[in-house]
């Protein structure tokens, strides 16, 4: 008897009730991430510090309705104009994560501030975080998580932007239409690849300002 066909993974829209699972998933997915390891250098406390960060991110972005989940993965997107934190949000983020970044927090602020300064001002959807549980890579979850966000970009006629914290993930993004626009090395740290996916009909390089 023929075996059942293998189903491709499908991402579904995330709800507020998914927040705990999303935070757990992203914390585990980024446990060995080069940039998160640079921000929070102590491996013993990184799960705690990463959880604080992703809790902040999920709390901020889930109400925007542009985030998706799969069994084993999650993606948080910022709607146009929502990528920049307010001063109050930055204070809350600093209070939650400063202990983990100590005593290198000034270096972290300088490095991440330089990356944020390169963030395009043109309206776009911003992929703030995407992650798949360790051991689930290679199952197509990353592509499944990207698909609805990119479809949303095309529906709105908007470009997409991300900052890849791991060079190993750059080919995945390139397969989905992203192009590296810049590569910045953090102070005494790893590189961050800035990537832009043009809107439908937009040429590569247009609109990046």
In contact, 23 and 54? CB cutoff 8 Å: yes
- pLDDT for position 1: 42
* Residues β-bridged to residue 24: none
In this prediction, residue 203 carries a pLDDT of 64
SS3 66: coil
**Spatial separation of the C-alpha atoms in residues 119 and 127, rounded to whole Å:** 12
pLDDT range class, residue 4, cuts 50, 70, 90: very low
The span from the CA of 158 to the CA of 160, in Å, is 7
pLDDT digits (tens, 9 = 90+) for 139-161: 999 999 999 999 999 999 999 99
The pTM score is 0.91
Phi-psi category of residue 160: left, alpha or beta, with phi > 0 → left and psi -120 to 50 → alpha: beta
Domains of the chain as residue ranges with CATH: 15-197 (3.40.630.30)
């Amino acid at each position: 008897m023929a075996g059942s066909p293998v189903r491709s993974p499908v991402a579904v829209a995330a709800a507020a009730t998914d927040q705990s699972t999303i935070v757990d998933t992203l914390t585990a997915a980024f446990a060995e991430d080069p940039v998160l390891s640079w921000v929070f250098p102590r491996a013993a406390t990184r799960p705690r510090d990463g959880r604080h960060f992703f809790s902040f991110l999920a709390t901020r972005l889930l109400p925007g309705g542009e985030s998706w989940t799969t069994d084993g993965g999650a993606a948080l997107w910022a709607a146009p104009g929502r990528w920049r934190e307010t001063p109050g949000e930055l204070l809350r983020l600093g209070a939650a994560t400063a202990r983990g970044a100590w005593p290198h927090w000034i270096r972290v602020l300088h490095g991440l501030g330089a990356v944020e300064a390169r963030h395009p001002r043109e309206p776009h959807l911003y992929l703030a975080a995407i992650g798949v549980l360790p051991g689930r890579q290679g199952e197509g979850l990353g592509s499944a998580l990207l698909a609805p966000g990119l479809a949303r970009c095309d529906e709105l006629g908007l470009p997409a932007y991300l900052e890849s914290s791991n060079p190993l993930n750059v080919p995945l993004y390139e397969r989905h239409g992203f192009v590296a626009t810049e590569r910045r090395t953090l102070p005494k740290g790893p590189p961050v690849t800035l990537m832009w996916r043009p809107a439908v009909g937009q040429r590569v390089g247009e609109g990046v300002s």
